[in-house]
Structure 1
Amino acid sequence: MNPAEAQAVGESLYASGFRALEVPLNSPQPLRSIEILRSTLPADAVVGAGTVLSVEQVRSCHAAGSQIIVSPSTNINVIKETVALGMDSFPGAATPSNAFDAIEAGAKNVKIFPAEQVGLAGFKAWTSVIPQNIRLLPVGGISEENMFEWAEAGATGFGIGSSLYKAGRSLDDLKKRADKLVDAYRTIHEMRKSA
C-alpha cells in the first residue's frame, strides 16, 4: 500500500467488514499510510504496522498512530516496547518455543508464521500447550478456502496477505476478495457461537 491509495483501500476494506488493517513497513511511505488510515477510518478501525523489526520502528509507528505492531519474528525487545507503549503486539512464531518466549515478553497474540510451514497438524499440537487466553493467528497462505480448517484447529483470527491485497489490484477486485474473506470469517464466528 502507498499513501496515494491508503484511504481508498482502507475505506473499501472497512466497508467489507474488516476492522483491523496492517501497513507493512516495507511498503512505500508506510508511516504516512498509517497516518492517513487513522485519520480517515472510523474510530472502531484498528490500524497497525507490519514487518516491524526494531524498537526504533515501534516508536515511529506509535508516533504515526499505530495501535498494533506485527512482526515476522519473536523479537523480545520489540514486544516489550510495543506493550510499554500501550499497543498490542503480534510477534511471529514458527515454533512453540518462539510462542512461549513471546508470551513471556508480554504478547497476548501470536502470529503463527509461516502457517504453511507449521501446517495444520503442527498447529493443532500448539493449541494443546499454549494458554487458552493467548490468541493464535495463522499467517501465510490463508484464504477463504482454508480458514475453516484453521479455525477447527484452534485459530482465533487470521492474518491475510496477498490473497487479499497486492499492489496494482483494482478496488473492485479487492472488494470481491474482502467480501469473500469476511463472509467466511462471519460463518466461522456464527458456527462457534452456536456450538
Structure 2
Amino acid sequence: MNQREIIAILRGLRSENAIAVTDVLINAGITKIEVPLNSPDPFVTIEKMVNHAGDAAQIGAGTVLTIAEVDRLSDIGAAMVVSPNCDQDVIAHTAAKGMASYPGVFTATECFAAIQLGATGLKFFPAFKLGPDGLSALKAVLPADVATYAVGGVGPDDFANWYKAGVTGFGLGSNLFKPDWSIDQIETAAQSAVTAFDRVFG
C-alpha cells in the first residue's frame, strides 16, 4: 500500500458515487480515505467502499463523536476513525477495536492525552489557526515518532511550509473533493495533491 500521508475527506459523498471516487483516489496514490458521518448515509457508503477496496486503502469515517459510532464502524470493517475533537472514550475504544485513531487536537494537553490513549496520529484542527509555527513549537515537546496531520484550511500550496515545521501529512477536504464535482475534477485534484506532496516530501 502506498504510504503517502494524505487523508481524503469526502464530506457529502453519496453512496452511488462511492466506488468511482474511491478508485480515482487510489489510482492517484491516496490510500487513506474518510467519509464524515454528517454525509448522506455514511455507514452504507463506507461499507460499500470497504467491501470494494478495503485491501487497497485504509477506509473509515470522520466526524466520529461516540463509541456507538465506533462500534458500528468496526462492525462494517472500517479501518480508520477520525474525529474533530479529543474524546478519551472514543480514542480508547477505537484502539481497543484495532482501528486507526486520528483525534482532533490543538493543545499540548490534548496531544499527550491522545497519545496516552493510543491514538495512531494527531489531527491538528483547525490547522490554519495553529499554523506551521504553532506545530513547530508543539513538535519540540512531542515524541519524535508521533504522526501529525494538518487538517482544515490547508492545501497543496501550503505543504512546503508545514513540511518545514515537521508535519507528517495532511487531511484534505474541499481541495480534493466536493459533492458536485465530476470524476474528472476529483481525479485532477487528487493528482495535483499527490504531485505536490511528492515534490515536498520526496
TM range (shorter): over 0.9
Structure 1 unpaired stretches of 5+: 191-195
Task: Trace 1:100-179 onto structure 2 (pairs within 5 A).
Answer: 100-179=112-191
Length, aligned pairs only? 190
Distance in 2, matches of 1:147 and 1:52, equals 26
Displacement of 1:15 in angstroms is: 1.1
2:100 counterpart residue number: 88
Once the two structures are overlaid, the 10-residue window that deviates more, 92-101 or 72-81, is: 92-101
Kept in 1: contact 2:61–2:82 (CA 8 A)? yes
Q: Say if 2:63 is the partner of 1:54.
A: no
Distance 1:42 1:99, change over 3 A: closer
1:18 to 2:56 alignment: no
Structure 2 counterpart of 1:114, one-letter code? P
- Deviation per CA, 1:23-51: give whole Å up to 9, x if none: 10000111111111111126131101100
Deviations 1:141-190 (A, max 9, x none): 12110011111111111111111111111111111110010111122231
The amino acid of 1:160's aligned partner reads: L
Does the aligned pair in 2 maintain the 1:108–1:133 contact within 8 Å?
no
Q: 2:48 is paired with a residue of what secondary structure?
A: helix
SS at match of 1:86: coil
* Match in the other structure for 2:10: none
Q: RMSD between aligned alpha carbons? A: 1.0
Amino acid corresponding to residue 121 of structure 2 in structure 1: N
Q: Give, in angstroms, the shift of residue 10 of structure 1.
A: 0.5
Query: Normalized against structure 1, the TM-score is what?
Result: 0.94
SS in 1 for 2:172: coil
Deviations along 1:78-126, whole A, 9 cap, x unmatched? 0000000001100000111111111111113100000011111111101
Report the Cα distance in structure 1 between the residues aligned to 2:42 and 2:70, rounded to whole angstroms.
Answer: 13
RCO higher in 1 or 2 (8 Å CA, sep ≥ 6)?
2
Partners of 1:153 and 1:4 in 2: CA distance:
39
Q: Structure 2: any 5+ residue segments left out of the alignment? A: 1-12
In structure 2, distance between residues paired with 1:64 and 1:15: 24
2:110 alignment partner AA: N
Amino acid at match of 2:55: A
Q: Which runs of 4+ in 1 moved over 3 A?
A: none
Task: Report the identity percentage.
Answer: 37
What SS is found at the alignment partner of 1:89? strand
Amino acid at match of 1:157: G
What's the TM-score, normalizing by structure 2? 0.91
CA distance in 2, matches of 1:108, 1:170: 32
